[in-house]
Amino acid sequence: MKERIRWLAMHGVVRALSSLLARRGDPRGRLIADPNVRANPIAFTDELRERGPIVRCRAVYITVDHEVANDLLRSDDFRVIAMGSNLPRPLKWVARHTNTGLLHPLEPPSMLSVEPPEHTRYRKLVSSVFTTRAVGALRDRVEDTANTLLDDIGDNAAVVDVVQRYCSQLPVTVIGDILGVPDSARLRILEFGELAGPSLDIGLSWPQYRRVYRGIEGFNSWLGDHLRQLRRNPGDDLMSQLIQASDAGAHLNDAELQATAGLMLAAGFETTVNLLGNGIRMLLDAPEHLATLAARPELWPNAVEEILRLESPVQLSARMAGKDTDIAGTLIRRGEVVIIYLAGANRDPAVFDDPHRFDIERGNANKHLSFSGGRHFCLGAALARAEGEVGLRTFFDRYPDARLAGTGSRRDTRVLRGWQSLPVQLGSAHPVRL
């Protein structure tokens, strides 16, 4: 009963209101409740762009303007928002009194929902172990993992769901290796992730909400046990180092440490799966680019930037004004929220010529905002880029004749955008291992 009341406060009311507002054409209502917007976000962001750099909706603003989005992400006058913190006062009261204490990626102490000084403390701790050098050393491991997964799939003329067999497996294996997650736990973690995927969305239905919470509950309980075990028996993995660094200096309490470690792990596999799936799909649809990449493999890093730009795995973020601020001629009052549509900013014609064109040689593809910006810039961006580049190149080197074998289906998420399944006829494998 308590759970249902919490759902009503956090999601149910917003969901009902959004359906109503969507029918009246309110963009925020449509973003949450209109299935066409999820099916075709590009048409929606183009429509918003026609209405100016910052669009006023019921209770919030939305921007798809690259300059505004970039400024907001870097501004000290805007802060990240903890889920539920901008609800009307009575709903906030209910949410507070029905809090289950479960760690959620959008609630404190998650790094995504706090600002300095806490944010600086958590981020410093992660950066102390997740260094550029440590990530640079992972490239070979990414390649080995990709090859092992493809060896398992084998020289296979059959149709394979590449999301299930490859795109979802590569990131969880890599981040699992880095963080010292035993092989035996990976399947369970993927299952938790599958359930909790929509946890970044608002306006969830009751069944969705139940599934998300089952996923988060399972993940938290597993992670708590895992951290306790590593504390007793540290390994040479980054999670053990994170615990030691916390004990030695940063002094995160148990909840802070678990939220930080959990976010690293979950962000490590929930997002990159979408980069790989989106990339495979886009390249299968553009054989001319595959031919260019086969002839000029040095273009792979730029191709990955272009894939990130056009199909942002994280579509949106949001910030709340800490004080009255003028943005592009609009006064945003303290406490008001701006939805930053990263995927829309990535197609701003003021920055990207012919923005909807897939161009692996685009000179400024890396100006996308898919990894956000400012204080909350993605901590895993270097790893995600390496996984995207190595993961896609290894796949297409092995299966140059791969082709789509069905339409596939999208994940049932709004903030995260990617494929749930993608059937591909692999063709015969070309041996690439010496």
Residues 144-183 within binding reach of ligand HEM (CB under 6 A): 175
Q: Measuring CA to CA, which residue among 302, 297, 341, 340 is closest to residue 321?
A: 340
Compute how many residues bind ligand HEM; rule: CB under 6 A. Answer: 24
Which position has the token pair 């980069």?
Answer: 275
| Residue 411 in contact with ligand HEM, rule: CB under 6 A | no
| Residue 268 in contact with ligand HEM, rule: CB under 6 A | yes
CB of 433 to ligand HEM, least distance (A): 25
The C-alpha angle with vertex 187 and arms to 181 and 188, in degrees rounded to 5, equals: 80
CB of 190 to ligand HEM, least distance (A): 15
Q: Measuring CA to CA, which residue among 316, 332, 375 is closest to residue 115?
A: 375
| DSSP 8-state symbol, 197 | G
* 55 vs 264, beta carbon nearer ligand HEM: 264
Q: Could you tell me the sign of the dihedral formed by the alpha carbons of 210, 216, 219, 223, in that order?
A: negative
Residues 78-107 within binding reach of ligand HEM (CB under 6 A): 80
State which amino acid sits at residue 231.
R
Q: CA 211 to CA 199: how far, in whole Å?
A: 9
> For residue 274, what are the CA distances in angstroms to 7, 167, 347?
27, 8, 18
Among 371, 395, 396, 399, binds ligand HEM (CB under 6 A): 371
Among 31, 243, 384, 426, binds ligand HEM (CB under 6 A): 384
CB of 93 to ligand HEM, least distance (A): 26
337's CB contacts (< 8 A; 6+ apart) are 59, 60, 61, 81, 86, 318, 319, 320, 321
Beta-strand pair 403-404/423-425: antiparallel
- Three-state SS string over 202-245 comes to CCCCHHHHHHHHHHHHHHHHHHHHHHHHHHHCCCCCHHHHHHHH
| DSSP 8-state symbol, 314 | B
Q: CA 127 to CA 123: how far, in whole Å?
A: 6
Among 264, 280, 320, 426, binds ligand HEM (CB under 6 A): 264
* 271 vs 302, beta carbon nearer ligand HEM: 271
| Residue 112 in contact with ligand HEM, rule: CB under 6 A | yes
Q: CA 104 to CA 92: how far, in whole Å?
A: 16
Answer for the pair 265, 175: CB distance below 8 angstroms, yes or no: yes
CA 396 to chain centre: 24
Strand partners, 107: none
CB of 372 to ligand HEM, least distance (A): 3
* 162 vs 267, beta carbon nearer ligand HEM: 267
Which stretch, 6-14, 25-33, 183-191, 372-380, contacts ligand HEM (CB under 6 A)? 372-380
CB of 312 to ligand HEM, least distance (A): 7
| Residue 380 in contact with ligand HEM, rule: CB under 6 A | yes
CB of 285 to ligand HEM, least distance (A): 19
Q: CA 217 to CA 4: how far, in whole Å?
A: 16
CB of 328 to ligand HEM, least distance (A): 20
Which stretch, 140-148, 187-195, 360-368, 378-386, contacts ligand HEM (CB under 6 A)? 378-386
Q: Could you tell me the sign of the dihedral formed by the alpha carbons of 47, 50, 56, 62, in that order?
A: positive
What H or E segment, with its residue span, contains residue 419?
strand 419-421
Give the 3-state secondary structure of residue 332. Answer: strand
Beta-strand pair 409-410/419-421: antiparallel
Q: Tell me the residue number closest to ligand HEM, measured at CB.
A: 380
* 6 vs 417, beta carbon nearer ligand HEM: 417
62: left (phi over 0), alpha (psi -120 to 50) or beta: beta
Which stretch, 27-35, 162-170, 186-194, 263-271, contacts ligand HEM (CB under 6 A)? 263-271
CB of 303 to ligand HEM, least distance (A): 14
CB of 425 to ligand HEM, least distance (A): 26
CB of 4 to ligand HEM, least distance (A): 29
CB of 199 to ligand HEM, least distance (A): 14
* 273 vs 424, beta carbon nearer ligand HEM: 273
Residues 303-362 within binding reach of ligand HEM (CB under 6 A): 313-314, 317
Which stretch, 237-245, 321-329, 330-338, 379-387, contacts ligand HEM (CB under 6 A)? 379-387
| Residue 246 in contact with ligand HEM, rule: CB under 6 A | no
Contacts with ligand HEM by CB under 6 A lie at 80, 111-112, 123, 175, 263-264, 267-268, 271-272, 275, 313-314, 317, 370-372, 376, 378-380, 383-384
